[in-house]
Structure 1
Amino acid sequence: MLYLSQPSKVQSLETQRALNAADGYLYFNLLDEALEELGVIPDSEQKDSPVMLARIRLLLHKKEWRSAELLSAQGTGLHPDEGEFTVQRAFALHKLDRDEKAEQVILAAPDWIRRTGILHYNLACYEARLGDISTARQCIDTAIQINAGIKKSARVDPDLQSLWN
């Protein structure tokens, strides 16, 4: 399971090599090395979607929630059709204990992303932490209906523990 692998949207071989190297470093939890690899990518490609998403994932792994949230917001503006920016921004806001804002971000997501299990899973987490167990339960049920594999993660997620007690 490689974290940063995704279809190529960038042109330069140098950038592809750096993304692949960063992916490998991230897989082995060598976060600083992964960030160094992303730093060698030419300035002209730093705002490309795959590069920005790679950097956001690294920031999330480093628990640099605020930086990840800011970069995700910028990515949403630059690449409005790339739904992962919305999901990552909401997750970072959630980690910053800004669940109401995270929920607003998710609810403003494009229609197609609302049909994904991860979106409903995240909403369940936010609602549970905000104390609305009934809505959280509805959200997690929807997420599991869309993607049954989510159930295993939901059972052990500390944000959703109130649903199972």
Structure 2
Amino acid sequence: MTDAERRIVAAQGYVELGLFDEARAELSVLPGELQERVDVVEISLLCLMGRHSWAEALALATRLCRQEPAEPGGYIHAAFCLHELGKTAEAVDMLSRGPVSLRTKPVYYYNMGCYHARLGHFEKSIVYLERAFEMDGDLRQHAKKDPDLDTLRAQLEIRSA
């Protein structure tokens, strides 16, 4: 394993531990050409998101969408950043324009459910959330504490009984 590869693996580990400054420090010494690698861009993006630097993270997520237009990750991250910036309608649009592969991810349906709930589209939200729960039952537990779903809590509990 090269020093650069070790640094990238270490940065991934730091992100998983929530140690975003340490992850960025590992990546900061990589040569310029390695800074453009998709995995490095994604780690940098996750660091920015972890620090709630939504505008900067959005720029990187948009870049990731351009670098890998068929991959769902950039779109999920970009939409989340838009939502956190108060641009929830744009987040829905971002996910709607994403690749078909997004529709295989429970997080796509979950986030669409959350975004529609915030926009007041409650019936749409419930349809998306039910699909997310079918795909990944653990998301139902997460939904019980998600502030985006506060307005739907009663309906979700009735439908989950």
Check whether TM > 0.5: yes
1:94 aligns with 2:83: yes
Pick the structure with more helix per residue. 2
Match of 1:103 among 92, 117, 124: 92
Q: Which runs of 5+ in 1 are unaligned?
A: 1-11
CA deviation after TM superposition for structure 1 residue 115, in Å? 2.4
Instruction: Give the Cα–Cα distance (whole angstroms) in 1 for the partners of residues 66 and 136 of structure 2.
Output: 28
Give the match's secondary structure for 2:30.
Answer: coil
- Residue in 1 that maps onto 2:64: 75
TM superposition shift of 1:164? 1.1
Q: Determine which of 98, 113, 117 is the counterpart of 1:128.
A: 117
Instruction: Give the 3-state SS of the residue equivalent to 2:47 in structure 1.
Output: helix
Name the counterpart of 2:11. Answer: 22
Q: Does 1:139 align with 2:128?
A: yes
Partner residue, 1:43: 32
Contact 2:70–2:101 (CA<8 Å) still a contact in 1? no
Aligned partner (choices 27, 31, 50) of residue 61 of structure 1? 50
Where in structure 2 are there 5+ consecutive unaligned residues?
A: 155-161
Count of aligned positions: 154
Matched residue, 1:163: 152
The alignment's TM-score, normalised by the length of structure 2, stands at 0.89
Which residue is equivalent to 2:159? none
CA distance in 2, matches of 1:164, 1:16: 45
Taking structure 1 as the reference length, the TM-score comes to 0.87
CA deviation vs aligned residue, 1:54-91 (integer Å, no higher than 9, x gap):
01111000000000111110111112122111110011
Identity %: 29
What is the alpha-carbon distance in structure 2 between the residues aligned to residue 58 and residue 77 of structure 1? Answer: 19
